[in-house]
């Protein structure tokens, strides 16, 4: 089955840039979506189709996808960005049509 690998944690100072990677075999050929989950809350879609933002998501959130790595970038990080982030792809060739990454905890120092 298709596997998505994320770093367990990323730490960043306020105002700096956080980059969260999502590795998968030839992931650049798939559409990647990103979800933010704050403690005790449901996930929220922050980026879809590699780099598009839903309405209401700040421009500070951006995404890219090429080769074997997709990246979620959070610019000018704020304390409120502290959360778990998950990447997701659709893989109908496996028995897990929706595949989530392992998740990354972003800590704002």
Does residue number 44 form part of the binding site for another protein (CB under 8 A)?
A: yes
Q: 63-102: which residues touch another protein (CB under 8 A)? A: 84, 86, 88-90, 95-102
Instruction: Please tell me whether residue 49 binds another protein under the rule CB under 8 A.
Output: yes
Residue with tokens 């409120």: 80
Q: Which is nearer to another protein, 10 or 17 (CB)?
A: 10
Decide: is 9 part of the binding site for another protein (CB under 8 A).
no
- Which residues here bind another protein, judged by CB under 8 A? 30-31, 33, 35, 37, 41-45, 48-49, 54, 84, 86, 88-90, 95-103
């Amino acid at each position: 089955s298709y596997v998505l690998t994320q770093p367990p944690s990323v730490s960043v100072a306020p105002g700096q840039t956080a980059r969260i990677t999502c590795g998968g075999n030839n992931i650049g050929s798939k559409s990647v979506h990103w979800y933010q989950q704050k403690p005790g809350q449901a996930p929220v879609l922050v980026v879809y189709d590699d780099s598009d933002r839903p309405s209401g998501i700040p421009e500070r959130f951006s995404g890219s996808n090429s080769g074997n790595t997709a990246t979620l970038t959070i610019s000018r990080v704020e304390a409120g960005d502290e959360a778990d982030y998950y990447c997701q792809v659709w893989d109908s060739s496996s028995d897990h049509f929706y595949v989530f990454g392992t998740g990354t905890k972003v800590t704002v120092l």
